[in-house]
């Protein structure tokens, strides 16, 4: 995700966008437990604590500092998105209130130039809870009964996936909008589908043993899709984009899963770093965009660019196709949030230890 946001080379970017966001949903579904079917309250509370609360806290924080950052041109009315008119503006008191209200009630209204990736919080929250509700409802359908509980569970999970795909197809083909969701609901529908795919993988994980030829095969297919039928989880996906997404997204997960199995065999620094990243994905997700600004300052100095280009979203696009600045962008986008998070946790631990001593 961070590499994709760093304006990496088009060949790499197209490849990553085939599966990098579905990967989050599939992984979340992989860790969904059947026990929550009889303990809905704990699951819903856990999801709200892990997704809604961080969203509210940080979305409102960045809204509150928007005008301050605007004053220093870190975001500005000259540079923003690549498209004309895609720039930031000062918030009026009314606009700020309205955006905060949308954050609380819709999980929308967040600052697109500082927290543009925050749609994921809403989509995963909706997908998780919707999947739980649908699973409980569909599990009661007698047509899906089986003497083997695992078979029935697979049938229910597959039914949900098919249902979500059909709804997403209907939505994109007919250009429909689910008005209760900001951006129309496509990401929520596909998020629920991929969540279900992850759960199905968990139920049949013996089929996902590390295999170099399977990895290579998945890699080739995803790469081919990225060249001839590129797709992503864009909120405004067309019907063609929708048709192009599921296969490379699923195979991208299989490829990543098998790579992780290989990495897990060896106890080394790289494995430890990957585990640490996995345990601290939230700081990366929240702060990688603002961390990019540090690298943008360096790029402005190197090329003698207008300082206001620091407001480019998410990175400075000038010379991006010929230079290698996407590498420091990615390193800082991951490393800076992790470093700050590490220092913060160490500091809090020392404070707690002092309280215990006293």
Q: How confident is the model at residue 294 (pLDDT cuts 50, 70, 90)?
A: very high
Please, what sign has the CA dihedral across residues 256, 262, 263, 264?
positive
The per-residue pLDDT for range 161-202, each reduced to its tens digit, is: 999 999 999 999 999 999 999 899 999 999 999 999 999 999
> Per-residue pLDDT for 115 more than 60?
yes
Residue at token pair 């078979």: 151
Mean local confidence (pLDDT), 128-137? 95
> Per-residue pLDDT for 84 more than 60?
no
> Per-residue pLDDT for 122 more than 80?
yes
HEC per residue, 305-340: CCHHHHHCCCCCCCCCCCCCCHHHHHHHHHHHHHHH
Q: How confident is the model at residue 356 (pLDDT cuts 50, 70, 90)?
A: low
Distances (CA, A) of 257 to 34, 117, 178, 274: 21, 23, 33, 13
The pLDDT value recorded for residue 143 is: 78
Mean local confidence (pLDDT), 5-24? 94
SS3 87: strand
> Per-residue pLDDT for 83 more than 60?
no
Average of per-residue pLDDT values in the chain: 92
The per-residue pLDDT for range 200-234, each reduced to its tens digit, is: 999 988 777 778 999 999 999 999 999 998 888 99
Mean local confidence (pLDDT), 75-96? 84
Q: How confident is the model at residue 355 (pLDDT cuts 50, 70, 90)?
A: low
- The set of residues, in sequence order, having a beta carbon less than 8 Å from that of 324 and lying 6+ positions away, is none
> Per-residue pLDDT for 13 more than 70?
yes
Which of the residue ranges 145-154, 270-279, 325-334, 338-347 has the most confident prediction, judged by mean pLDDT? Answer: 325-334
Mean local confidence (pLDDT), 44-69? 96
Q: Which helix (H) or strand (E) holds 350?
A: helix 326-357
The pLDDT value recorded for residue 358 is: 61
> Per-residue pLDDT for 130 more than 90?
yes
């Amino acid at each position: 995700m961070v590499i994709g946001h760093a304006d990496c080379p088009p060949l790499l970017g197209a490849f990553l966008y085939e599966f990098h966001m579905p990967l989050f949903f599939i992984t979340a579904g992989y860790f969904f437990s059947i026990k929550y079917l009889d303990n809905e309250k704990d699951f819903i509370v856990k999801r709200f604590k892990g997704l809604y609360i961080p969203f509210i806290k940080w979305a409102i924080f960045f809204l509150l500092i928007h005008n301050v950052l605007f004053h220093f041109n870190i975001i500005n009315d000259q540079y923003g998105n690549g498209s004309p008119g895609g720039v930031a503006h000062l918030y009026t008191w009314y606009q700020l209130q309205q955006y905060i209200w949308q954050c609380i009630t819709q999980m929308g209204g967040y600052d697109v130039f500082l927290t543009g990736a925050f749609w994921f919080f809403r989509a995963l929250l909706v997908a998780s809870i919707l999947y739980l509700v649908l699973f409980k409802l569909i599990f009661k359908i007698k047509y899906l009964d089986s003497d083997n509980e695992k078979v029935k569970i697979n049938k229910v999970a597959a039914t949900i996936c098919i249902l979500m795909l059909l709804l997403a197809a209907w939505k994109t083909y007919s250009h429909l909008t689910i008005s209760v969701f900001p951006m129309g609901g496509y990401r929520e529908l596909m998020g629920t589908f991929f969540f279900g795919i992850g759960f199905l993988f968990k139920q049949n994980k013996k089929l996902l043993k590390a295999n170099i030829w399977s990895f290579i095969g998945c890699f080739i297919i995803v790469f081919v899709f990225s060249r001839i039928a590129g797709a992503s989880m864009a909120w405004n996906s067309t019907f063609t984009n929708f048709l192009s997404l599921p296969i490379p997204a699923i195979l991208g997960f299989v490829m990543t899963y098998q790579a992780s199995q290989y990495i897990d065999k060896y106890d080394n620094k790289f494995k430890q770093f990957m585990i640490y990243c996995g345990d601290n994905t939230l700081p990366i997700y929240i702060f990688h965009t603002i961390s990019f600004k540090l690298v943008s300052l360096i790029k402005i100095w190197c090329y003698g660019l207008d300082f206001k280009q620091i407001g480019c979203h998410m990175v400075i696009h000038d010379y991006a196709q010929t230079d290698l600045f996407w590498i420091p962008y990615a390193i800082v986008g991951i490393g800076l949030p992790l470093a700050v998070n590490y220092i913060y946790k160490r500091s809090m631990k020392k404070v707690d230890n002092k309280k215990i001593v006293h």
